[in-house]
Structure 1
Amino acid sequence: MSKHYDMIIVGAGLSGLLTAWRCLDVNPDLSVTVIERGARIGGDHTWSFNLTDVAPELHDWIAPFIAYRWDSYEVKFPKRKRTLDITYCTGNSDTLRACVQPHIDSGRLTVMTDTAVSELGTETVTLESGEVLNAACVLDARGFEPNDDVFLGYQKFVGHVIKTKDPHGVTRPIIMDATVAQLGGYRFVYCLPYSDTEILVEDTYYTDGPELQSQEVDARIKDYIRDNLGVKDYEVVRREKGVLPITLAVDESRNWEALNTIGIRGGFYHAVTGYSFPDAVRTADNIADAIDLMDINISQTLKAEAAMEIQASRRSHIKDETFLRLLNRMLFRAAKPEERYTVLQRFYGLNQGLIERFYAGELTWRDKARILIGKPPVPVSKAMYNLSEKAFIRREREKRKSKS
């Protein structure tokens, strides 16, 4: 007789582990099994966010995840340099694993690594070995996968964590240094000073395709460390790289309700930045609240409660990010590639409260008007051409047909 699980989460990355952690914290009678294709959970990543991106009532919960925090950060553009007094936080794979370890030790969280999955259902997981696992609820938290109903640009990055012989001199994060050569698209360098002699230097650029030439970016990082930071004597202690989706348009006519998918694969990320931590926190908390069943039989209602919450959150997320997708179309399709930085240069001249609300996904209609009012940093004709999301989708589908 096969074992029946309460909850199975396929994918042990950020969203999968945050959801397991939150659900287990909130629901003392729940057990969770996480299935991971790789050799260990959590991967090897860094995740950053503004503290204001996360609801205040969740700050205590996420505190163990945070490895570093700073009271302010800088942005740099050819015609604007600014320090923003916004608390900035970073966690990583090590802190994420540490957050779930107590539940692993207690036996309530079971981890299956080096385990490939061939098929997912709402109540079943079929492993490549042929074994079928049954659960009251199955969540798909695997990595990002493009689909025909979401139209994308991409943010690509390579990062080097270096240990310097002498202090590197960076006292607060530089989340965008766009004074660097743009190289045919929006490019900036991102710096996180972990200590006086340890710093992450990351080269990030926005392009239409997902291809990442990491060796070329490695060379650019070395140049930046030498020429911009003035550091010559150092060792690279860790490297990371990634490709994040930037959403230009979403076909809302798709039957999203059929998907029990969370995390970046489910579209839960900031459309402009590709940042996924705040949305992963919200999703984890919403699912945990939805299945906080107390004396109710978990196996009878878990699937329905979690599915309804995911579906409602996805519909709300798609609607809420309509304006952000518009901004992305302005950046990717209306602005000249070498002048895309001017869109962000103008944005960072706005008031700090608006910038905080932008990253938190809480823009008001006044904020949206303020972003659009004034001399546009893109040609008006191209801006108007990309204004309608439905027309954009229609044109993109026609392009795909002509290429096929």
Structure 2
Amino acid sequence: MTDRRVDIAIAGGGLAGGLIALALRRARPELSVALIERGDAMGGNHRWSWFASDLPDGGEGLLAPFRKTSWQGYDVRFPTHERTLAAHYRSLSSEDFDAALRRELAQDTLLPGREIANLDARGITLADGSRVDARAVIDCRGFLPHDSLRGGWQVFMGRHLRTDAPHGLERPVIMDAAVDQLSSGGAGGGAGGGAGGGAYRFVYVLPLGVDELFVEDTYYDDSPVLDRRALSSRIDAYCRENGWQGEILGGETGILPVITGGSIAGYQQAHGTPGVAKAGAAGLMVHPLTSYTLPHAVETALLIADNADLPGDQLAALLDAQARRVWKRTGFYRLLGQMLFGAARPAHRYRVFERFYRLPEPLIERFYAARSTFADRLRILSGRPPVPVTRAIGALLSSRDPLTAPQQQKDPSP
């Protein structure tokens, strides 16, 4: 690749970077954009899901080019409570994400299979020594753990399955916490070792077709260690219990931060590059408790498209300010995360969500959209608490461990 110059260079072709490139193409097609991704496909190997009510104004239009799976209604299951809710739910695979970007963007925008060696306010240097100069540079290469942040982790493995017979599931099961919980030395867990020993566990199921399922085993844990063998075994058992068997089409794993506190200023100082804008999880634009990223990625992409003429340093300042606004408006969810990890014993953490899912549905939708009202917050915190008051107070006064780098056990199991 020879050197080139563009208006805006984007490092990282995942969800945040791809949506920014698409928003710029739709709003400002005359601008030249380079979207640089180390992998061969945009979006990596992921599945993103969201509620229709999560999106900001203009979000549906931005996502219109993508092929999505949609449902009206979803289920939740707990040991003493089950419920069907009416909200519209959406899901997007990385394969469909990549296909739409290749179709919608200018031919010379996408630069897959390119390793980034370095970036600065004036452009991006690739590993082969070539250079993409730009008026503005946006770094979207993902969350970087740092001891300026505190919290826990959401660890998961998902499996895409084609069943031998129709599975019979009509709508998603967003949270099946009626499964065995993971308490150290207790049933269903296997203590320690990254298997989720001492964690809140649930299973997430999407019916992608009459004979197609996405089944994900997820747990909220203190440790950022992913044990592939343990997760795969639990998915096997869950599918057997439901009578599902068939061909494995693919899968994914992940370790996401559940941020309960810390300093965004410290994070920005540690990971910032002068004059370079940060977006997506790299800029902490996430829901701190659910780890949902798509609504924030849409919001950021639209913001950048509206300010596409800014010089690079001003665009960087704009996104730093946006990250601080997101941090401020999501403080309530960090508090809830602190209580979840610090006040509830691992085997009983499901009670926090079980009680939450007894609340009015509009409140639940606003919660996922990170737009809880003051009355919502009072309602969530009032009434009979699912954790002892003394432990809740202790959790708020304590400090979680730093969010240091996750680890994945090198296990050949699928």
TM-score where L is the length of structure 2? 0.87
Say if 2:239 is the partner of 1:225: yes
Task: Tell me which amino acid in the other structure corresponds to 2:266.
Answer: R
Say if 2:177 is the partner of 1:178: yes
Task: Tell me which amino acid in the other structure corresponds to 2:285.
Answer: F
Q: Distance in 2 between matches of 1:349 and 1:178?
A: 14
Task: Tell me which amino acid in the other structure corresponds to 1:217.
Answer: L
C-alpha deviations, 1:234-265, integer Å up to 9, x for none? 11111211111111113144373755211112
Aligned residues of 1:286 and 1:309 also touching (Cα < 8 A): no
Partner SS for 1:64:
coil
Equivalence for 1:235: 247
Single out whichever of 368-377 and 115-124 deviates more from structure 2: 115-124
Q: Distance in 2 between matches of 1:75 and 1:86?
A: 12
Say if 2:227 is the partner of 1:213: yes
Say if 2:265 is the partner of 1:264: no
Distance 1:306 1:99, change over 3 A: farther
Matched ranges for 1:2-401 at <5 A = 3-104=4-105, 106-107=106-107, 109-184=108-183, 185-227=199-241, 229-231=242-244, 233-254=245-266, 256=268, 258=272, 260-291=277-308, 298=309, 301-388=310-397, 392=399, 396=401
Partner SS for 2:266:
coil
Q: Distance in 1 between matches of 2:386 and 2:357?
A: 13
Partner SS for 2:145:
coil
Distance 1:307 1:84, change over 3 A: same
Q: Distance in 1 between matches of 2:386 and 2:5?
A: 57
C-alpha deviations, 1:256-306, integer Å up to 9, x for none? 375521111221111111111111111101111112xxxxxx4xx332452
Aligned residues of 1:334 and 1:379 also touching (Cα < 8 A): yes
Distance 1:93 1:203, change over 3 A: same
Q: Distance in 2 between matches of 1:317 and 1:26?
A: 24
Single out whichever of 319-328 and 308-317 deviates more from structure 2: 308-317
Partner SS for 2:311:
helix
User: Hey, which of these two has a bigger chunk of helix by percent?
Assistant: 1
Partner SS for 2:341:
helix
Identity of aligned residues (%): 39
Task: Tell me which amino acid in the other structure corresponds to 2:77.
Answer: K
CA-based RMSD? 2.0
Q: Distance in 2 between matches of 1:253 and 1:8?
A: 25
Partner SS for 1:156:
strand
Deviation at 1:35, TM superposition (A): 1.3
C-alpha deviations, 1:14-65, integer Å up to 9, x for none? 1110111111111122111011122222212110000100024321331232
Q: Distance in 1 between matches of 2:165 and 2:175?
A: 24
Deviation at 1:387, TM superposition (A): 2.1
C-alpha deviations, 1:309-358, integer Å up to 9, x for none? 31221010110111100100111111101100000001101100100000
Aligned residues of 1:21 and 1:99 also touching (Cα < 8 A): no
Aligned residues of 1:331 and 1:343 also touching (Cα < 8 A): yes
Deviation at 1:115, TM superposition (A): 2.0
Aligned residues of 2:279 and 2:319 also touching (Cα < 8 A): yes
C-alpha deviations, 1:122-159, integer Å up to 9, x for none? 22223233444321111111122201211131111111
Q: Unpaired segments of 5 or more residues in structure 1?
A: 292-297, 398-404
Aligned residues of 2:102 and 2:110 also touching (Cα < 8 A): no
TM-score where L is the length of structure 1? 0.90
Q: Distance in 2 between matches of 1:151 and 1:255?
A: 11
Partner SS for 1:85:
strand
Task: Tell me which amino acid in the other structure corresponds to 1:384.
Answer: I
Aligned residues: 382
Equivalence for 1:400: none
Q: Distance in 1 between matches of 2:289 and 2:264?
A: 18
| Shift >4 Å, 4+ stretches | none
Deviation at 1:386, TM superposition (A): 2.6
Aligned residues of 1:64 and 1:95 also touching (Cα < 8 A): no
Task: Tell me which amino acid in the other structure corresponds to 2:228.
Answer: S
